[in-house]
Structure 1
């Protein structure tokens, strides 16, 4: 086992212990000061709730129709799961299935301002449908959503957030009893080979150039005809 894989396994196991009992909702209790870590947690949507992944993203291969979740947070003795449900239909429902590929919905939640390190500002939680090879693992799928910063084999930044730091220990953190749910910003699907059909021009728009040309021809013909008649009348008058 390489040093990178060892480091990833250690942090995953540590996070698993810290996030024991990973469920989407927990019983509200008073926030208590404790020591924890600031990191990206990796989850799968299972049986209607988020569950902390028992494998690293480079070792887990989600199936077609799966929902992957990433949440940046201060992790203590309770789960800090993504703050939105893993709704596959909402994220991938408008993306057509493709032969020989799979669709995986990915929820990326940068967390709250309280989770952020000094000088960092988390963005909005997003949902992205990734169309990819059936053998693609969680790491490859996440990389399709946005740039991933890896240090010592660990996922440290997603789409530029945070800009620095990786699994930093934080003393005396106050983890809220619950996290308010958020609405995902659903982005365009990635990896799909299907191209959107061009917007069809209206019949009126498509006929406009020809209509103008025909009108111009008629006007010229009328003017020419009128001129010819006027010329003949003048000749007759002479």
Structure 2
């Protein structure tokens, strides 16, 4: 009886939120503004044109569909207003959003977001543009971007265990909620308590019928 109730209660318990990963996501935006688009190429292969914008956001996300966009509304004209065009080069606006304390590995306040205008050679990649304004960069052996301007100091695409009820914040702003604990969820604890009560009631009813 109790085992059957246990299966029913646990089956009805809230599902665990999917695990996420803490990493730098890469975004692109044209000179005419508009919204950020998740890049289909990595920064080491994407080649933005003169007047384009590239963005980098550090956050906890499940995947590219859940990734959090860089914050701020600055456009190319504002970021590169003091950087005149020159022959043989291109200007790329680089937006760097270090995320929130919720996203940070140690929950500390991250660096302030930055907007930089990179003037690079015409065939430069987004990674080249980033390196020209935000060193030091850190990559892993698989060419995954791990740190910008030395942030974070360690780790690269680390897995983060999501707690029950945790969900990514809206993509336009803010960070993502995540939980690092490995203890039992509130839903599971509540379910087990209900099992104990129902089991006790079943025993009491059985004794009453025998009496």
1:67–1:86 Cα contact (<8 Å) kept: no
- In structure 1, what is the equivalent of residue 145 of structure 2? 155
Alignment partner of 2:90 out of 96, 102, 113: 102
Alignment partner, residue 169 of structure 2: 177
User: In structure 1, how many angstroms separate the alpha carbons of the residues matched to 2:70 and 2:132?
Assistant: 19
Task: Give the C-alpha shift of residue 177 in structure 1.
Answer: 3.4
SS in 1 for 2:170: coil
Tell me the number of residue pairs that the alignment of Structure 1 and Structure 2 aligns: 151
The TM-score, its normalising length taken from structure 1, stands at 0.59
Structure 1 unpaired stretches of 5+: 1-31, 183-238
In terms of Rg, which structure is larger?
Answer: 1
Deviation at 1:123, TM superposition (A): 0.8
Report the counterpart of residue 80 of structure 1 in structure 2.
Answer: 68
Aligned to 1:49: 35
Deviation at 1:99, TM superposition (A): 1.4
Gaps of 5+ in 2: 1-15, 175-211
Summarize deviations over 1:71-118 as a string: whole Å, max 9, x none.
000012523010123510110022111111100000000001000002
Q: Determine if the alignment matches structure 1 residue 125 to structure 2 residue 109.
A: no
What's the CA shift for 1:137?
0.4
User: Aligned equivalents of 2:87 and 2:18: distance in 1?
Assistant: 49
Q: CA deviation at 1:178?
A: 2.2
Structure 2 length as normaliser, TM-score?
0.66
Deviation beyond 4 Å, 4+ runs, structure 1: 179-182
- What is the rounded CA distance, in whole Å, between the counterparts of 1:95 and 1:175 in structure 2? 40
**Deviations, residues 107-160 of structure 1 (Å, cap 9, x unaligned):** 000001000002653111110000110000011111111210111111100001
Corresponding position: 1:70 with 2:56: yes
2-structure distance, mates of 1:37, 1:120: 18
